[in-house]
Amino acid sequence: MATVESASPRFAAHKSLYAIDPITNEASRLTASEGWSVSDDSSLLSILVLQHNGDRPGMLWVWAQISPPKTNVPAAMPNLVLSVPPVGCARANATQLVGSSADDPTADMARRLSTRFKRPVFVSLNASARRRAQGMAVAAEQMDELMATERCIVAELNAL
């Protein structure tokens, strides 16, 4: 006969939703309890933070996804993925990037986040366009949207 013992959850997660104003590039957090509506020109940014509570406490994974506004203007980062390992990890490669294009603005974001949180940050652009080069060009054109995304990620990580 098996015995069932209670255990604490291995992961803790929380989700957030932001609207990015197309004129000011300011992000405002949206909550279901208050209800919300945004203009057709706004982009929506969803962020999921997953924290490991088991063998490697402190390990963080952050997913951020921007949905383009209804006007079909391409979003800078349809899928930005970051992984923030625990503080005890070696910092020899504090910032590792998938791709090394000089035009990729996410490299700067990864370095700033790595410095701010004193942990390695791994950044990759996934499914940003039909081709990676096209996605980077879109991201480079929309630096304000990237900055709004970075501010929202920082706010979420600071809330942990």
Q: Which helix (H) or strand (E) holds 43?
A: strand 43-52
Take residue 80 and report the two structure tokens written for it. Answer: 């930005």
pLDDT for position 144 = 66
Question: Which residue in 120, 69, 117 sits closest to 91, CA to CA?
Answer: 120
Query: Taking each helix axis from N to C terminus, what angle separates 143-158 and 106-117, rounded to the nearest 10 degrees?
Result: 20
pLDDT for position 126 = 47
Buried b (16+ CB within 10 A) or exposed e, 48-60: ebebbeeeeeebb
pLDDT for position 33 = 83
Amino acid at 123: V
Q: Classify residue 150 by burial, with Cβ atoms within 10 Å: 0-12, 13-18, 19+.
A: buried
CA distances from 68 to 27, 74, 142 (A): 14, 6, 12
CA distances from 119 to 31, 48, 155 (A): 30, 19, 16
- Tens-digit pLDDT profile for the chain (160 aa)? 677 777 676 777 888 889 888 888 888 999 878 778 888 888 888 888 877 776 666 667 777 777 766 665 555 555 566 666 655 555 444 344 444 444 556 667 777 887 888 776 666 554 444 455 555 565 666 666 778 888 888 898 888 7
Residues in the chain, overall count: 160
Q: Is 118 left (phi over 0), alpha (psi -120 to 50) or beta?
A: left
pTM, whole model, 2 decimals?
A: 0.69
